Amino acid sequence: MKNCIIAQSGGPTTAINASIAGVLIENQTNNYFNNVYGALNGITGILNHRIINLTDKVAADNNFISKLKITPAMYLGSCRYKLPNLDNSPDTYQTIFSYFEQLEIDTFFYVGGNDSMDTVLKLSEYAKQINSPVKVLGIPKTIDNDLCHTDHTPGYGSAAKYIATSLLEIAHDTCIYPLQSVTVVEIMGRDAGWLTAASALARNKYNVAPHLIYLPERDFDLDQCIADTKELLKSNHAVVIAISEGLHDKDGNYISASGTEIDHFGHCKLSGAGKSLEQALNNVLDTKVRSVELSVLQRAAAHCASLCDLDESVSLGQQAVCLSQENKSGYMATIERLSDQPYQTKISSCNIEVIANEVKQVPDSYINAQGNNITQEFIDYALPLIQGEPDIPFENGIPSYLDISHLV
Amino acid sequence: MKNCIIAQSGGPTTAINASIAGVLIENQTNNYFNNVYGALNGITGILNHRIINLTDKVAADNNFISKLKITPAMYLGSCRYKLPNLDNSPDTYQTIFSYFEQLEIDTFFYVGGNDSMDTVLKLSEYAKQINSPVKVLGIPKTIDNDLCHTDHTPGYGSAAKYIATSLLEIAHDTCIYPLQSVTVVEIMGRDAGWLTAASALARNKYNVAPHLIYLPERDFDLDQCIADTKELLKSNHAVVIAISEGLHDKDGNYISASGTEIDHFGHCKLSGAGKSLEQALNNVLDTKVRSVELSVLQRAAAHCASLCDLDESVSLGQQAVCLSQENKSGYMATIERLSDQPYQTKISSCNIEVIANEVKQVPDSYINAQGNNITQEFIDYALPLIQGEPDIPFENGIPSYLDISHLV
């Protein structure tokens, strides 16, 4: 008996379940594992012995894998648990590997971002140390696209497609009145501006919005932003500004810093970057200003997923099974880009030691000199990642995703 | 020479252009009008002589009508101009009808909500008074669904489908962590709760979210909402609450009332109903609370439009041409429902006098006794309206809509 167990961690994406689909597809072909188990809520599911048998799910439902591929957010649930260092908590490691032994686990696959890869690193090192035969492998995902040593991460392309589509639709919405207006759109990304940069993919033959794009890679200068906006209002009646939630000034202060006043209904304590900039512009412009926060939908809107993204996520799951077959441990499946046009990639792998706990920001060459827009080089990089529309089944007028009641 | 002119007014919807498509389709069949003109920015385009020739657009582009049908927000632009009473401004009326004469206009079609139907009423009465042969006809649209004497309005079904889809995806997003959480989703609707009620269409075999739904048709009682939420948290780890932006207490105070403090960056002046309730719940619950505002995307997200909605919008445009052929003026095209299951309707018409300036709220029988949810009767009413997915063409990874650069 040779089994594997897979778990998911970090924030949701629309492409994270496609990697589980990839593991299941690869295993259907070569029957490498007798059972593919899923641990619920990440590594905590292994610590608490909360698992489900995905091989049984596949056997019971012909559509399980295809639906898994297009279902948003973690089908197995997530956790925000950071594995303690071995020295501080050897029991934790013993609990995990004793459960692996009980389940006859050959490989543990962990799908996630930076924190999850830290877990992969720690567990793979521990396995070596105790001479355990269990292989530990990482599969990347994060809408933030900030993992190093992979060209991009599953989840990013779909979030980028949703952001670009929404920005185009917002551009249509802003144009209808002859009055001048400014629309600020707040996009996720605390430390890296990849998602906000993707707003530029909304531009087409007739649409130049968003007119300004500010990323957290550059210090935000409110006075310069006001000047940029005023300049644009001379020749545009509807100006759209895309900003990252993580915008900060040169002293590192987030522009979304909280106010202190709370009225009888508790108003105003929380204020995001978008609302903050809306208010700041309202104070100085004689123009209607509003803000839109794309919010959690940018990581959950599977109805607008990128087929390229989902397909690559499947391939990375398949690659992880291949790495296990090659007897590798302490590796993460990766994507290498061979060319932009035509878009060609190679699924590869990388030692987890060089990946864990690093953050990849948007490079300088993708941001214009003024720091208020992106360059063509970014477009060339990102455009292939939002191509293709998966066939989403609908039932009763809404998407038909996999039942997630095991998480509730 | 017999021409017609069409204009659009009020807030955007994803289905409003489909009615222009309907006028063009009907006219392609019977060549009733030599030219279909479009006035830019509603009635102000007629006052300012800003028009385009839609018949030329159709001749120049085989895909014009099919793309028009799926393009969000007004292709002809909008206005917020309320036509003054005849007594106060006879010149305005003379200007409009003199331009109609110059363009050899047989019929003026106005697509919009309550305010637009007020314009239809005034202009049709004026035409009678001066014995003008010009017919004035209304075509309904509003995501708010608050027009009387029509079963529902174009734009509502698509907004409802986007809201239901987004709520389902938010439900997936909220379930992934084992920790308890409350998510407040703010939905458009100042005076009527039709859109917020549509959040219930996100429920399916496994998803019961949103758990609570509050409409502006009922006075909002914060203490009761807190009690409702606490009760639900006993048996649910992720509670989702859908609320209308227009929620108000028994004294008529909006819960989105503004605070007064402004910090150096201008924080906190604006606070929506969702943020307000988020904060109020945060103050009393020992649980993570967040809020999501669906914002302008619920009226602009054509990539998630309802095919039923778009088809009906086309039919209403066609019906308006038929009304003109029947020599009617001062009427609005309407939808009558014949049955819920199977969903059957009849395209009809109604004298504009009984429609203009009235507001249709969600009826009592669609809201539960406690005022924190909707009834099956509402589901039976709304479910048919979100059925079907139009085939949206994509180009470079984003939807391919009609060029709107004539508005910029």
CB contact under 8 A, A259 and B260: no
Q: Is B131 left (phi over 0), alpha (psi -120 to 50) or beta?
A: left
Q: Report the residue from A41, A300, A403 with minimal CB separation from B169.
A: A300
pLDDT of residue B271: 63
Given CB atoms, is A283 within the 8 Å cutoff of chain B? yes
pLDDT of residue A259: 46
CB contact under 8 A, B259 and A260: no
Given CB atoms, is B273 within the 8 Å cutoff of chain A? no
- Are residues A123 and A83 in contact, defined by beta-carbon separation less than 8 angstroms? yes
- Are residues A172 and B300 in contact, defined by beta-carbon separation less than 8 angstroms? yes
Q: Report the residue from A72, A177, A304 with minimal CB separation from B172.
A: A72
Rounded CA-CA distance A103/A46 in Å is 11
Q: What is the DSSP letter of A161?
A: H
Residue A263 confidence class, pLDDT cut points 50, 70, 90: very low
Q: Which residues of B are catalytic?
A: 144
Q: Report the residue from B204, B255, B397 with minimal CB separation from A201.
A: B397
Percentage of chain A exceeding pLDDT 70: 96
Q: Higher pLDDT residue, A86 or B264?
A: A86
Given CB atoms, is B227 within the 8 Å cutoff of chain A? no
And the tokens for A282? 């309202």
Set of chain B residues whose Cβ sits within 8 Å of the Cβ of A399: 165, 168-169
Set of chain A residues whose Cβ sits within 8 Å of the Cβ of B401: 168, 172
Burial A148-173, CB ≥16 within 10 A → b, else e? bbbbbbbbbbbbbbbbbbbbbbbbbb
Among candidates A21, A353, A346, which has minimal Cα distance to A151? A346
> Is pLDDT at A265 greater than 70 in this prediction?
no
Residue A261 confidence class, pLDDT cut points 50, 70, 90: very low
Q: Report the residue from A161, A169, A276 with minimal CB separation from B302.
A: A169
Sign of the torsion formed by the C-alpha atoms of A76, A80, A86 and A91: negative
pLDDT of residue A266: 44
Residue A8, Cβ density class (10 Å: 0-12 exposed, 13-18 middle, ≥19 buried): buried
CB contact under 8 A, A173 and B296: yes
CB contact under 8 A, B306 and A265: no
CB contact under 8 A, B204 and A398: yes
Among candidates B66, B15, B74, which has minimal Cα distance to B39? B74
Interface pTM, i.e. ipTM: 0.96
CB contact under 8 A, A178 and B270: no
CB contact under 8 A, B77 and A278: no
Residue A271 confidence class, pLDDT cut points 50, 70, 90: low
Given 3-state DSSP classes, what are the helix, strand and coil percentages for chain B, each rounded to the nearest 5? 40, 20, 40
pLDDT of residue B290: 95
Rounded CA-CA distance B219/A190 in Å is 38
pTM: 0.96
> Is pLDDT at A225 greater than 60 in this prediction?
yes
For B279, which residue in chain A has the nearest alpha carbon?
Answer: A266
Sign of the torsion formed by the C-alpha atoms of A343, A347, A349 and A352: positive
What Rg do the C-alpha atoms of chain A give, in angstroms? 23
Q: Is B211 left (phi over 0), alpha (psi -120 to 50) or beta?
A: alpha
CB contact under 8 A, B270 and A278: yes
And the tokens for A153? 């991460």
Residue A264 confidence class, pLDDT cut points 50, 70, 90: very low
- Are residues A308 and A388 in contact, defined by beta-carbon separation less than 8 angstroms? yes
Contacts of A84 (CB under 8 A, 6+ apart): A92
pLDDT of residue B355: 85
A11-64, pLDDT tens digit by residue? 999 999 999 999 999 999 989 999 999 999 999 999 999 999 999 999 999 999
Among A115, A118, A144, A228, which one carries the catalytic annotation?
A144
And the tokens for B273? 């109903």
Among candidates A39, A190, A273, A20, which has minimal Cα distance to B266? A273
Q: Report the residue from A268, A293, A306 with minimal CB separation from B293.
A: A293
- Are residues A6 and A27 in contact, defined by beta-carbon separation less than 8 angstroms? no
Taking only the tens of pLDDT, chain B with its 408 residues reads 999 999 999 999 999 999 999 999 999 998 999 999 999 999 999 999 999 999 999 999 999 999 999 999 999 999 989 999 999 999 999 999 999 999 999 999 999 998 899 999 999 999 999 999 999 999 999 999 999 999 999 999 999 999 999 999 999 999 999 889 999 999 999 999 999 999 999 999 999 999 999 999 999 999 999 999 999 999 999 999 999 999 999 999 998 865 444 444 444 444 689 999 999 999 999 999 999 999 999 999 999 999 999 999 999 999 999 999 999 999 999 999 999 999 999 999 999 998 877 789 999 999 999 999 999 999 999 999 999 999 999 999 999 999 999 998
pLDDT of residue B408: 81
And the tokens for A113? 């971002």
Given CB atoms, is A380 within the 8 Å cutoff of chain B? no
Chain A contacts in chain B segment 320-379 (CB below 8 A): none
- Are residues A13 and A142 in contact, defined by beta-carbon separation less than 8 angstroms? yes
pLDDT of residue A374: 98
A116-157, pLDDT tens digit by residue? 999 999 999 999 999 999 999 999 999 999 999 999 999 999
The amino acid sitting at B207 is N
CA distances B56 to A164, B36, B37, B60, B111, Å, are 31, 9, 9, 6, 21
Q: Give residue A254's Cα distance to chain centre.
A: 22
